[in-house]
Amino acid sequence: MSEDFYHILGVSKNASQGDIKKAYRKLARKHHPDINPGNREAEQKFKEISQAYDALGNKAKRKLYDEFGEEGLQSSFDAEKAREYKQWGAYQQQARAGAAGGYGGYESYEDIFGDIFGFGSGTGGSFGRTASARGRDIEHEMSIDLISALKGFETEISMQKMKPCTVCQGSGTDPGAEISTCRACGGSGRIDVAQGPMHFTKPCPQCHGHGRIGKPCPQCGGSGRTAGSERLKVVIPRGVKEGSKVRLAGKGEPGAGGGSSGDLYLIIRLKPHPFLERRGDNLYMEVPVTVGEAVAGGSVTIPAIDGQVKVKVPRGSQSGQTLKLKGKGAFNPKSKRAGDLMVKLIVKVPKSEDPQLIREAEKIDAFYGADIRKDLRL
Q: 32: left (phi > 0), else alpha (psi -120 to 50), else beta?
A: beta
- Those residues with Cβ within 8 angstroms of residue 376's Cβ, 6 or more apart along the chain or in another chain: none
- pLDDT means per 10 residues in the chain (378 residues)? 80 91 90 84 87 88 82 63 52 46 44 45 40 77 93 87 75 77 81 60 72 79 73 92 92 75 91 93 96 94 93 95 96 94 95 90 87 88
- Which residues of the chain are in CATH 2.60.260.20 domains? 112-271, 276-365
Q: How many Å is the maximal CA-CA distance in the chain? A: 112
Architecture in CATH for domain 112-271: Sandwich (2.60)
- Which residues of the chain are in CATH 1.10.287.110 domains? 5-73
Question: Considering just the CA atoms, what is the radius of gyration of the chain in Å?
Answer: 32
> Tens digits of per-residue pLDDT, 138-186?
888 899 999 999 999 999 888 776 777 878 876 677 888 788 888 888 8
Instruction: Indicate whether this model's pTM tops 0.85.
Output: no
For residue 304, the model assigns a pLDDT of 93
Q: Are strands 138-145 and 264-271 parallel, antiparallel or unpaired?
A: parallel
CA distance 25 to 112: 59
Give the class (CATH, top level) of 276-365. Answer: mainly beta
As a CATH number, domain 5-73 is 1.10.287.110
CA distance 311 to 299: 5
